[in-house]
Amino acid sequence: MVYGTAGGRDLVALSTGLGRLPRLRELLEGCSSALIQSLRRRSWTTCPSCGRCSSSALVDEPPFSVREGKFIRPGYSEEVDRLRNVIDHGAEMLADLESRTKEQTGIRNMKVSYNKVFGYYIEVAKSQTGLVPPDWARKQTTVNAERYICQELKELEHAILSAQDKVTALEYQLFCQLKEQTCAHVAQIQKAAAAVAQVDVLDSFAVVAAVNGYCMPQVDASNSLTIVRGATRWWKRCPPLSPTTPTWTAERTCAPSSPAPTWRASPPTCARWPSSSSWPRWRSRAAPRAPPWWCGTCFTTPPPGSNS
């Protein structure tokens, strides 16, 4: 949007997202989390109005290219509506002009026609050329008829032939104005997007915790870390690799002056390496490295005590 490469679909998608911010604020109102409330209080006030402006100007499904036109919503611009009416009802306007001219002049067998060389013209039989008004200009002479043009037909011809180019250029001009209006609020839109992204992540964490029964750890001022019946939840969602699902019970106790913590744990059985003695690098006292000798299908990092 800022670099000027956005199209009509990008602007519609942005306006649709901004239009949902008020509902999101309402849903977050009853949340007791201080972080959620701080995200809710961010400046989202100008974003919905910017989205409504774009949604009122653009159709729901604009074409891919903004150079083709037909993406401004009817009723947004009077000039666009007028030009579209000329394009869609040009034949009806010509028929109305023909019927009014017949009544005014009394030339019953005249007709309004068009060709690529001379454009629009009024064809009158030579037997009735005496009824032609003096302000008509002769345009072409044929064997059996004379072809004329009047000022009203000339204006209508110009309107019909140039309407398509005019409406396409006007729609692109209106689209550029909408982009400029949106770019004026880019700072507020970016803040809102960052807040929504954080809310989305926190909502995902909450859903995962509720589905899997996660609990909040109890934090106190002591120097001990105790994990009782801790289980790797992702392990349970993987296909079973062994008859038993391992459960770790580990305890870490360290004083503030201790150089390193002490772990007591039993690592679970690995699918590729059934026992710790069969893991090649673990036989040495050297500090273990990550892949390739750690089984990537089972774990992402070695369990505690692997380097002892």
Among 118-132, 183-197, 231-245, whose mean pLDDT is lowest? 231-245
Contact 22, 203 (CB under 8 A): no
Q: Is the pLDDT of residue 127 over 50?
A: yes
Q: Which residue has the tokens 């040009």?
A: 90
At 56, the pLDDT band (50, 70, 90 cuts) reads confident
Amino acid identity for residue 30 in this structure: G
Buried b (16+ CB within 10 A) or exposed e, 288-305: eeeeeebeeebbeebbbe
Q: Are 178 and 54 in contact (CB under 8 A)?
A: yes
Q: Which residues contact 115 (CB under 8 A, 6 or more apart)?
A: 121
**Cα–Cα distance between 304 and 248 in angstroms, integer?**
10
Residue with the larger pLDDT of the pair 7 and 121: 121
Lowest mean pLDDT among 76-90, 95-109, 222-236, 240-254: 240-254
Between 146-155, 174-183, 212-221, 255-264, the lowest mean confidence (pLDDT) is in 255-264
Average pLDDT, the chain: 75
- Residue 124: strand pairing partners: 146
Structure tokens at 265: 């744990």
- Residue 233 is predicted with a pLDDT of 60
- pLDDT-derived band at 290, boundaries 50, 70, 90: very low
**Those residues with Cβ within 8 angstroms of residue 53's Cβ, 6 or more apart along the chain or in another chain:** 15, 178, 181
Residue-level pLDDT at 1: 64
Taking a C-beta distance cutoff of 8 angstroms, is the pair 7, 180 a contact? no
Give pLDDT tens digits for 221-265: 888 888 877 766 655 555 555 544 444 444 444 444 445 444 444
pLDDT at 91: 87
* Alpha-carbon separation of residue 273 from 232, 292, 307 (angstroms): 19, 13, 16
